[in-house]
C-alpha cells in the first residue's frame, strides 16, 4: 500500500543520510523460509560455526519481540588505497629467508617463491564493525526522532543472531549463491 511504500522510502532516505550507500527492508515473513537452513544445521552442515545453532536466528522476534521488519544497509568499502596485490613492497624469496627445518615450513612454501598476499578490502583501514556500528547508531537515533513511541531497534554488524545474508537478499541488496 502507499503508506507502507512511503514509510520504506523514508527509512531508506534516513539510512542514506546516516552515511550508508544502500538500504532495503526485509519483511519478517521470510524467516519461515529458513527451515532448510535449520535442517542443515541439525544435520551437521554448519561445521564448526556453532553460532548457526542459535535458535534466535530462526526469527528476529526472538531478539526483539516487537519487530515488524528488518532494515538492511550496505556500505561500499572500496577505499582509495592500492589493492594488496598492487603493493610495491617486495616479499623475500625463500632463499633470502633464514634457514628452517623442512618440517617447520608451512605448507605451500617448500621450494616456492612467495609472491603477494591478498588482503580483503574490508580489512584495510579502520575496523568495519566500528564504522558500521556508528552509522547504525546514527540511523537508529534518526528513526527514533522520526517515529513516535514505542520505537525499538537492535543493530548488529555481523555480531548478533540474525540471518543477515537472507535478510539482505530479501531486502534487495544482493543475492546468495547456492
Q: How far is CA 23 from the centre of its chain?
A: 13
Q: How far is CA 54 from CA 23, 34, 51, 70, 106, in A?
A: 26, 13, 6, 18, 35
- Active-site residue, 126 included: no
Contact between 56 and 154 (Cβ < 8 Å): no
**Which stretches of the chain are assigned E, i.e. beta strand?**
22-27, 69-74
C-alpha cell at 68: 515488524
Considering 21, 35, 137, 158, which one is annotated as catalytic?
Answer: 158
Cis peptide before 150 (omega within 30 of 0): yes
How buried is residue 171: exposed, middle or buried, by Cβ count under 10 Å (0-12/13-18/19+)? buried
Q: Which residues are catalytic?
A: 158
Amino acid at each position: 500500500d502507499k503508506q507502507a511504500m512511503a514509510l520504506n522510502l523514508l527509512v531508506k532516505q534516513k539510512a542514506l543520510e546516516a552515511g550508508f550507500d544502500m538500504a532495503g527492508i526485509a519483511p519478517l515473513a521470510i524467516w519461515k523460509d529458513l527451515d532448510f537452513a535449520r535442517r542443515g544445521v541439525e544435520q551437521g552442515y554448519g561445521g564448526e560455526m556453532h553460532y548457526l545453532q542459535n535458535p534466535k536466528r530462526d526469527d528476529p522476534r526472538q531478539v526483539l519481540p516487537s519487530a515488524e521488519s528488518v532494515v538492511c544497509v550496505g556500505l561500499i568499502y572500496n577505499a582509495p588505497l592500492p589493492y594488496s596485490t598492487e603493493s610495491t613492497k617486495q616479499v623475500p624469496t625463500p632463499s633470502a629467508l633464514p634457514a628452517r627445518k623442512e618440517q617447520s615450513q608451512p605448507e605451500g612454501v617448500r621450494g616456492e617463491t612467495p609472491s603477494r598476499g591478498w588482503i580483503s578490502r574490508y580489512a584495510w583501514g579502520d575496523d568495519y564493525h566500528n564504522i558500521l556500528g556508528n552509522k547504525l547508531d546514527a540511523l537508529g537515533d534518526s528513526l527514533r526522532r522520526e517515529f513516535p513511541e514505542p520505537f525499538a531497534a537492535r543493530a548488529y554488524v555481523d555480531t548478533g543472531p540474525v540471518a543477515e545474508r537472507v535478510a539482505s537478499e530479501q531486502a534487495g541488496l544482493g543475492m546468495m549463491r547456492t
